[in-house]
Structure 1
Amino acid sequence: MIDIHCHILPNVDDGAKDMEMALEMAKAAVDEGIDTIIASPHHRNGQFENSKSSILESVDQLNNRLKEARIPLTILPGQETRIFGEMVDSYLDDELLSLNHLHQYLLVELSSSHVPRYIHRLFFDLQQQGVTPIIVHPERNAEIIENPEILYRLVKEGALTQVTAGSVTGHFGKKIQKFSIDLITHNLTHFVATDAHNLTSRPINLRKAYEFIEDECSAFYRYMFLENAEMIVAGRMPLVEPPEMIKRKKFLGIF
C-alpha cells in the first residue's frame, strides 16, 4: 500500500519528534502493509515553514536511516501547504513541492473553519500550470460540513480530495465518520491517507480504514483508492468517478 500523506519526517513539524519516532512510525507502517509513504510536512500554516529544499534533504536522510535499519519502506517527498493567495507565484518560483516531485499534484490544506472565496480562481490558475490540487481532509472543514455543495463544485472544477483514515474509522467522532462515508459514496473524494503524526493520538491506521470502506461502502471504493495512490506516485491520472451532490435533507439528518 501507499500512504500519500504522512508526517513521518523527524523534527520538522508536529509529526515525528525525532529520528527514533520516525523509525518506529516506519515499522508500524510496514506492519500495516505500507511500502511507500509520501512525507508531507506542514508548510505555511502559521506554525511551520518547510521549504522544498529542506524537505528533499530530510527525505534523503530518512531513507538512508531506513536502509541502515533494514526497514523495507520508501519515503517520497511531498508537502502539505496551507492555502494562500500567492500559491501559483510560489509554485512558479519553485518554492512548493509537488507529490513525489513530479510537478503534477499538490496537497492543499484548508483551515478547519472556512473556505476562502478566492479558492476557485486559485485552483483554476494552478490547473492552468498543469498542477492538480488535492484538498486534504475536507471532511473536517466546518464550512464544507455545513454546505457540501462547496466541495461538489470544487471537484466538478477539477480538484481532487483526500479523506483521513482516522475520519473513516471514527477517530474524530461519528459525525465526521458519517460525513466521510458520504463523501466516498458520492464520489467527492479520491484518496484515503493516514495523515499520521505519531504512534498514539494520530497513528497509522490505513488497513483498518480500507477494511471499513469495503464493509460500509463497497470493495470498488477500496480498490479504487488503492490504485489511485499508485497512479499519482507514478505521475498518472487517478480514476475519477462523476461527483454527486449530497442532498442537504439527508445530510442534515446526520447532525
Structure 2
Amino acid sequence: MIDIHCHILPGIDDGAQNLYDSLDMAKQAVSQGIDTIIATPHHMNGRYENRKADIMEKVQELNKRLTEEQIDLTILPGQENRIFGEILEGYEKGEIQTLADSSYVFIEFPTGHVPHYAETLLYDLQVKGLMPIIVHPERNSELMQNPDRLYEMVNSGTATQITAASLTGAFGKKIKKFGEQLIEANLTHFLASDAHNVKNRAFKMEEAVEEVEKKYGTDMLYFFTENAELLVNGQNIYREVPQPIKQKKLFGLF
C-alpha cells in the first residue's frame, strides 16, 4: 500500500521531531501494510517553509537510515503546500516539490475558509501542466457548509485526498460524515494517512481501509489504492463523474 501524505521527515515540521520518531513511524507504517510513503512536509503555512532541495536531501538521508535499520519502506519526496498566490512562481524557481516527482501537487486550504482566489489558482496550475490535489477537504469548515464549491473545483479537474483518521472518526462525527459524503458523491480520489506521529496523529490506514471496504466494497478500496499507484507512476488517475452534495444531507452536521 502507498501512503501519499505523511509527515515522516525528521525535524522539519510538526511531524516527526527527530530520527527516532521517523523510525517509529516507519515501523508503524509497515505494520499497517504500507511499503511506500510520500513525505509531505508543510510549506508556506505561516510556520514552516520546506523547499524542494531540502526535502530531497532529507528523503535521501531517511531512506539510507531505513536501509541500515532493515525497515522495508521506501520514502518518496513530496510537499504539502498551503495555498498561496505565488505558488507557480515558486514552482518555476524550483522550490515546489511535486508528489514523487510527478505532475501532481498538494494544495492545503486554511482550516476555516477557502481563499477567494482558489479556483483561479487551481485553474492556472492545470494550465501549467500540474494536477492540484486538495488535501483533507472534509476538515475544512467552509467546504462543509458549502460543498458546492468543492464540487465545482472537482468538476473543473482538481482532485482531492481525504484523511484516513477522518473516516475512523478520530476528528469527530461531523468530519467522518462529510468524508463519507465526499466518497459517495465521487468528490475524492485518494485516501492517505496525514500521519504526524505514532500516537495522537497516527496512520490509521488499516482501520480506514477496513471501513471503506465494509461500507463501500472492494471496488472503492481498489479505486483508492490504484490511484495512489498511478500517481507514483506519473499516470492519469481514475475518476468518477462528480455529483453535488445535496444541502439537506448536511443539515444533520450542524
Q: Answer yes or no: same fold by TM over 0.5.
A: yes
- Equivalent-residue separation in structure 1 for 2:215 and 2:147 (angstroms): 20
Question: Which residue number corresponds to residue 172 of structure 2?
Answer: 173
CA shift for structure 1 position 61: 0.1
Contact 1:42 1:48 in 2 (8 A): yes
- Equivalent-residue separation in structure 2 for 1:13 and 1:167 (angstroms): 21
- Equivalent-residue separation in structure 1 for 2:128 and 2:92 (angstroms): 9
- Equivalent-residue separation in structure 2 for 1:222 and 1:18 (angstroms): 33
Deviates more, 1:167-176 or 1:88-97: 88-97
CA shift for structure 1 position 219: 2.0
Question: Which residue number corresponds to residue 111 of structure 1?
Answer: 110
- Equivalent-residue separation in structure 2 for 1:61 and 1:109 (angstroms): 26
**Paired residues, number:** 254
Question: Which residue number corresponds to residue 55 of structure 2?
Answer: 55
Q: Deviations over 1:79-106 (max 9, x none)?
A: 001001111111122110000122x010
Q: Which runs of 5+ in 2 are unaligned?
A: none
CA shift for structure 1 position 126: 0.6
- Equivalent-residue separation in structure 2 for 1:7 and 1:254 (angstroms): 29
AA aligned opposite 2:41: P
- Equivalent-residue separation in structure 2 for 1:254 and 1:52 (angstroms): 39
Question: Which residue number corresponds to residue 11 of structure 1?
Answer: 11
Question: Per the alignment, in what secondary structure is the counterpart of residue 163 of structure 1?
Answer: strand
Within a 5 Å distance, the mapping from 1:82-121 to structure 2 comes to: 82-102=82-102, 104-121=103-120
Contact 1:181 1:217 in 2 (8 A): no
Q: Deviations over 1:180-211 (max 9, x none)?
A: 00000110000000000001000011111011
AA aligned opposite 1:216: K
Question: Which residue number corresponds to residue 228 of structure 2?
Answer: 229
Q: Deviations over 1:135-181 (max 9, x none)?
A: 00000101000010010000001100000000010000011101100
CA shift for structure 1 position 58: 0.1
- Equivalent-residue separation in structure 1 for 2:23 and 2:69 (angstroms): 8
- Equivalent-residue separation in structure 2 for 1:68 and 1:49 (angstroms): 29
Structure 1 segments (4+ residues) deviating >3 Å: none
Question: Which residue number corresponds to residue 237 of structure 2?
Answer: 238
- Equivalent-residue separation in structure 2 for 1:240 and 1:74 (angstroms): 27
Question: Per the alignment, in what secondary structure is the counterpart of residue 37 of structure 1?
Answer: strand
- Equivalent-residue separation in structure 1 for 2:86 and 2:154 (angstroms): 21
Contact 1:99 1:233 in 2 (8 A): yes
- What TM-score comes out, normalization by structure 2 length? 0.99
- Equivalent-residue separation in structure 1 for 2:166 and 2:218 (angstroms): 18
CA shift for structure 1 position 247: 0.4
CA shift for structure 1 position 134: 0.3
Question: Which residue number corresponds to residue 161 of structure 1?
Answer: 160
Question: Which residue number corresponds to residue 187 of structure 2?
Answer: 188
AA aligned opposite 1:51: R
- Equivalent-residue separation in structure 1 for 2:83 and 2:253 (angstroms): 29
Question: Which residue number corresponds to residue 138 of structure 1?
Answer: 137
AA aligned opposite 2:139: R
- Equivalent-residue separation in structure 2 for 1:101 and 1:56 (angstroms): 10
AA aligned opposite 2:95: E
Question: Which residue number corresponds to residue 148 of structure 2?
Answer: 149
Q: Does 1:32 align with 2:32?
A: yes
AA aligned opposite 1:149: D
Q: Deviations over 1:121-141 (max 9, x none)?
A: 111111011101000000010
CA shift for structure 1 position 254: 3.3
Q: Does 1:65 align with 2:61?
A: no
- Equivalent-residue separation in structure 2 for 1:56 and 1:167 (angstroms): 29
CA shift for structure 1 position 218: 2.5
